[in-house]
Amino acid sequence: MPSAVRIFCSTALRPMPHDPGVLPSLGDALLLDVASIPHQMELVATTLRSAPWCAVLLVARQPLPATELRGLVRLMSRHVTTVMQDEALNAATVYRAVRSRPTPTSADMLDYLRFRQLDRSLIAAVEDALALSTDTDTDTDTAKMAQPRSPSAINRVLAQHSLLRAREWRALVHLLPILESTAPSIDQLAGNHEHDPRTLRALVSEHIGVEFAVALAHPGWEWKLEAALRHHRLIGWPRPSRRSSAEQAVPAMAGKE
DSSP symbol at 253: T
Go through the chain and tell me how many residues it has.
257
Predicted confidence at residue 137, as pLDDT, reads: 39
This prediction has a pTM of 0.85
**CATH 3.40.50 correct for 5-99:** yes
Query: Residues 56-92: pLDDT tens digits?
Result: 999 988 766 666 666 666 666 678 888 887 778 999 9
| Nearest residue to 200 via CA among 183, 187, 209 | 187
Predicted confidence at residue 39, as pLDDT, reads: 87
Q: Which secondary-structure segment (H or E) carries 6?
A: strand 5-9
Q: Where in the chain is the domain with CATH 3.40.50?
A: 5-99
Find out whether 147 and 111 touch, Cβ atoms under 8 Å: no
- Point out the residues of the chain with pLDDT beneath 70: 63-77, 133-148, 184, 243-257
Find out whether 142 and 118 touch, Cβ atoms under 8 Å: no
| Nearest residue to 185 via CA among 197, 198, 195 | 197
**For all residues of the chain together, what is the average pLDDT?**
83
How far apart (Å, rounded) are the C-alpha atoms in residues 205 and 195? 15
How far apart (Å, rounded) are the C-alpha atoms in residues 37 and 43? 9
Helices (H), the chain: 41-50, 66-72, 91-99, 106-115, 120-131, 151-158, 166-180, 186-192, 197-207, 212-217, 221-231
